[in-house]
A and B are shown apart, each in its own frame.
Chain A
Amino acid sequence: MIELKGVTRRFGDAVAVDDIDLTIETGEVCVLVGSSGCGKSTTLRMINRLLPSTSGEILVDGEDINKVDPEALRLNMGYAIQSTGLFPHWTVARNIGVVPNLLKWPARKRDERVNELLILLGLDPATDAIKYPHQLSGGQAQRVGVARALAGDPNILLMDEPFGALDAITRENLQQEMLRIQRQLNKTTVFVTHDIDEALKLATRIAVMDQGRIIQHDTPEAILRRPASAFVENLIGKGDRGLKLLALRTVGELMEGHSQPREPEPGADGLNEADSLRFALSVMVWENTLQLPVYNGAGEEVGTVKREHLLQGGA
């Protein structure tokens, strides 16, 4: 658990972060979102003491971070940044092994961990491990960046716009990977972004920041349904917030389940349990149907979803 109590940070006369209170529960993904210069990165960098706070208190699992040695503190917090910060003179494997090395893990344990992470992030241990950062694509480099942040098995993950410099498709892929990895590992994560869609997709709770203050701190659904101010309303966009709400839930949550999985009808088009309701609606509009079968990962038909339900109870 991370607690910020009355934390302020000034740069000269300018106030970057203005007396904020924020509690991030263990295992949750807290996304700090706001336009550039709103203090979200500054907040993140105060949590691992890359920046000292001017006043206030930051506690990690109840302990004041100023009472902990900064290097020891950071070794227990994975850190990934937009520009990756990979060491250009080291191979991918050595980059990922930085924190295990700093923690003085035995070589064997470290190498096993590096392999495990390469596989977890969809990289090839045989070919990618021996590459140098300049030989990687942007998406691959960022995967390595995330792997490196996870390598020491930290309790906390700090991510500063890690996917900000990637193209839309690569970013989308990495967000999916993030969700998958987070379901597996359950790290307490603080994630900074300026992209509200990314925030809605990844967050268990979102903190909207503006001019150094937290305007609203709530679940994605609550932010969409009850924006606390015109600023938040503007940020989420009035035009498609209904669709954004639909995007938060999966087909599996709304479908009418069959008593027992069935063999799919040959040639029938359908949805996957994990697809979002937004996607389901889009397919229905496109195919002009009133209902669609839903399949599970094994390809069995497990239920149906109706357009009527989707429109009434989806959002």
Chain B
Amino acid sequence: MLPNRVLSNRVLSNRVVLALALAAFGCVWLLNLGVVQPNRIVTGTGYGLYAATGWLGAGIVSSLLLVVVVLATRPVHKRYEVLAALLTVALMTLPLLLEVFALHKLPTDSAYARIGIGAGFWCLAFFLALILLETLGQLRASRRFQLSTVLLIVAGWWLCASREGLSSLSLIREYTNRADQFAQALAVHLSLSLSAVAISAVLAFALALAMVRRERMRRPLLGLVSFMQTIPSLALFGLLIAPLGALSAAFPFLQALGIRGIGWAPALLALIAYSLLPMVRNTYVALIEVPESVVDAGRGMGMSERQIFMQVKLPLALPVIIEGVRITTIQAIGLTAVAALIGAGGFGTFIFQGLGQAAMDLVLLGALPTVFLALAADAILSALKFKEASR
């Protein structure tokens, strides 16, 4: 009865979901769900799940995880569909836990008191997301479906965050105090990293082409871009200050353009330098790995070199080139945060301010959007690569 056994094995138990649910259960009961701080700098008092949200919150969270465990181990009809729906709703409404916590524990007499997010909350969110990921994998969900799930959850958090009940959340306080700066940081962060990627993509394409055409250019060029990658980012940002400062002092028109020793100019240069290696390497490898027989056939049939390049080599190389752009974009978004140190702006500003003031939620205000931007870039470029590769 082989088919039956295979079926029951597949249906009976999903150990990944089971293990994740148990881990989430342990974390949410053992770690602090939230913290109450008298002001933005002092370390606050932590509260566990039961202390923070009372029987109602603790009961809902525990029974949710219990249902997940049951679905993971029992052959329930359409259980992955049920799991996906349940987890999406749970993740969308997760911030409400913090709202209940604020309602219970926030002292009403202090204008500076605020609540922070505890490790238990982060762990719960993280494990629920992993279970959802596994569930979507089991369902073989399409990219579109996965994307809509993510958008639903983001929308849920957005709605929760804009509610009055969560205005005492430290992270949101930091945000409301800096709403204008936040918008500006987003604009600067995006334009810096994206223009660095765009410029280095053009440069890298030219360099890779030169390497393909002239084999002896390969070693020195790859050596150069690899060398730039080995300079610590902070050092490179610093090293550019002096020459750019001197240039700007010598040529007033550069100063008028906003090019100075600090600010966006050295940041952009350094980001371009770092972006070159992954981009050049991927483009070069992609171009030389087009099978020789395919090129030979194209040439033998009467295609010109230009036609071979545009119609054969480039389309075949494109998925690998896009992979290079993906790696570079993620790297550039991360490095732009460091560029705040030389006055380039962006989300790094919040991170370093927060570190300076020992205000962890201000650090988060810079770090979380940076991570989010990197994930979004990853998702978009992966989808693009997948589309190209499947053509």
Interface set of A (CB-CB < 8 Å, partner B): 48, 50, 71-75, 77-79, 81, 83-89, 98-99, 102, 145, 148-149, 158
Contact = CB atoms under 8 A, between A and B. Distances in A.
Nearest to B307: A102
Q: How large is the interface on B (under 10, 10 to 19, 20 to 34, 35 or more residues)?
A: 10 to 19
Contacts of B301: 74-75, 78-79, 98-99, 102, 148-149
A85 B302 contact: no
Contacts of A98: 298, 301, 303
A79 B296 CA distance: 10
A86 B293 CA distance: 8
A71 B298 contact: no
Given A88-B316, A89-B315, A89-B316, A71 B304 contact: yes
Given A71-B304, A102-B303, A102-B307, A85 B298 contact: yes
Given A79-B301, A102-B307, 14 more contacts: A72-B302, A74-B300, A75-B301, A77-B302, A83-B293, A85-B293, A85-B294, A87-B297, A88-B316, A89-B315, A89-B316, A89-B391, A98-B298, A145-B297
A87 B293 CA distance: 10
B293 A81 contact: yes
Interface of B: 291, 293-294, 296-304, 307, 311-312, 315-316, 391
Nearest to A148: B301
- Provide the main secondary structure of the chain A interface: mixed
Contact of A48 (B298, B300, B312, B315): B300
Contact of A88 (B294, B296, B299, B303): B294
Contacts of A81: 293, 296-297, 300
Contacts of A149: 301
A251 B303 CA distance: 45
Contact of B300 (A72, A86, A87, A158): A158
B128 to A, nearest CB: 40
Contacts of B303: 71, 98, 102
A87 B315 CA distance: 10
A75 B302 CA distance: 5
> In the complex, which of the residues A72, A85, A149, A158 has the most CB atoms of chain B within 10 Å of its own CB atom?
A85
The 9 closest A-B pairs by CB, nearest first: A85-B297, A79-B300, A74-B302, A75-B302, A83-B293, A85-B293, A71-B302, A85-B294, A89-B315
A87 B294 contact: yes
A79 B294 contact: no
A72 B299 CA distance: 11
> In the complex, which of the residues B294, B297, B298, B301 has the most CB atoms of chain A within 10 Å of its own CB atom?
B301
Contact of A84 (B297, B302, B391): B297
A314 to B, nearest CB: 41
A50 B302 contact: no
B23 to A, nearest CB: 42
Contacts of A77: 302
Nearest to B304: A71
A78 B302 CA distance: 9
8 contacts: A73-B302, A81-B297, A84-B293, A84-B297, A87-B298, A102-B301, A102-B303, A158-B300
Contacts of B315: 89
Contacts of A84: 293, 297
Nearest to A158: B300
Nearest to B290: A88
A74 B300 CA distance: 6
A82 B78 CA distance: 51
A209 to B, nearest CB: 20
